[in-house]
Structure 1
Amino acid sequence: MTAPFNGRCACEAVSLQIQAEPLAIRQCWCRQCQTIAAGSPTNNAVFPAEAVTISGPLASSSWIAASGNTLTHTFCPHCGTQIFAQSSARPAFKTVRLGVIEEPHDLQPQAIIWTDEAPNWAIFDPGLKQFARQPPPPTAN
C-alpha cells in the first residue's frame, strides 16, 4: 500500500493522515524507546513533517536523548497512544509509530538503530542494516 496513510489512536480521539511515502522505517532500541515500549523497541516510519496532518487532542513530553538532542514524544492525552516523536536536530521530520497507522500497509523496519542500548536478549533481523547508535538523517527517496 502507498500514501496516503491514515491512522488513529486506540480510543480514536486522535486521527492522522500522511501524504507521503516514508523516508525511512526503523526499529529503535534506545533506552528512551525501551522505556515507553515496556522494554521492547519502537517501530517507526520517518515522514516529512509537512506531510503529516493530525487532528484531535495531543499531549507531549520532552527530554534530552542520548544523542544530546531534545526528543519530544507526542501522544493522545486520553488513551496514552504514542503518535509520533520529533528531534530538535531534525525538525523537518515526524517519526510516526507504526502501530497508529491503519492496516493494511506494507511498512516494516528497514534498519535497526541504537543496537548498543538493546538488552542482551534482543534479537535482530540479520537482513536489516544495523546502527550501534544514531544513524544519519534520512534522505528523500
Structure 2
Amino acid sequence: MEYPINGSCQCGQVTYTLSKPPVAIAACHCKQCQKLSTSAFSITAMIDADAIDIHGEMSEWSRVAASGNTSSAKFCAVCANHIYHYNPSNPSHLMLKPSTLSDTSIINPTIHVWVSEKQDWYKIPEGALVYDTQP
C-alpha cells in the first residue's frame, strides 16, 4: 500500500490523511469494545500522532479502563463515528479506527487483546499474538 491514504467519518464532516503505516493492528475483545463496535471485537491501528492530519469538528468522551488508565475517544460531532482513541497521559500514540480509511486493505489484526472476554464463537487466526488482558 502507498501512503498517504485518506479517511473520514460516515457523514464526511471529519476527514484525515494518514501519512505512514500503522505500527501494528490489533483486535480488542473486551466487553467495552464489543459495546463500541456492536460486534465481537473492535479493531485499532496503532499510529504515531504525527502520522495523521485531521480536519473537522470532533467531540471527546473518556472513561477509566480496567488497567486504571484513561481511555479517551475522539469522534465526529455530527455522526458520532469514532476516529481514534488515546490515553491522555500518552498523546503521542493513537489508536485509529481503521474502518474509517478509504482503503481498508491494511486491516489484518495480528494482535488480539482481552481474549479472556472474547465471544466463544470467534476463532482467533493461527499465528496471532494473543493476550488474556491488556499487554
TM-score scaled by length of structure 1: 0.88
The equivalent residue for 2:12 is 12
- The runs of 5 or more residues in structure 2 that have no matched partner are none
Deviation at 1:80, TM superposition (A): 1.5
1:30-49 to 2 correspondences below 5 Å: 30-49=30-49
- The runs of 5 or more residues in structure 1 that have no matched partner are 136-141
For residues 27 and 35 of structure 1, the distance between their equivalents in structure 2, rounded to whole angstroms, comes to 14
RMSD: 1.5
The equivalent residue for 1:91 is 91
For residues 89 and 113 of structure 2, the distance between their equivalents in structure 1, rounded to whole angstroms, comes to 17
For residues 55 and 127 of structure 1, the distance between their equivalents in structure 2, rounded to whole angstroms, comes to 37
For residues 109 and 28 of structure 2, the distance between their equivalents in structure 1, rounded to whole angstroms, comes to 9
Moved more, 95-104 or 60-69: 95-104
The equivalent residue for 1:2 is 2
Q: Does 1:121 align with 2:121?
A: yes
For residues 2 and 41 of structure 1, the distance between their equivalents in structure 2, rounded to whole angstroms, comes to 27
TM-score scaled by length of structure 2: 0.91
SS in 2 for 1:121: coil
The equivalent residue for 2:55 is 55
The equivalent residue for 2:111 is 111
For residues 105 and 119 of structure 1, the distance between their equivalents in structure 2, rounded to whole angstroms, comes to 24
Give % identity.
Answer: 29
For residues 39 and 51 of structure 2, the distance between their equivalents in structure 1, rounded to whole angstroms, comes to 30
The equivalent residue for 1:102 is 102
SS in 2 for 1:44: strand
Deviant stretches of 4+, over 4 Å = none
| Contact 2:72–2:85 (8 Å) recurs in 1 | yes
| Contact 1:2–1:105 (8 Å) recurs in 2 | no
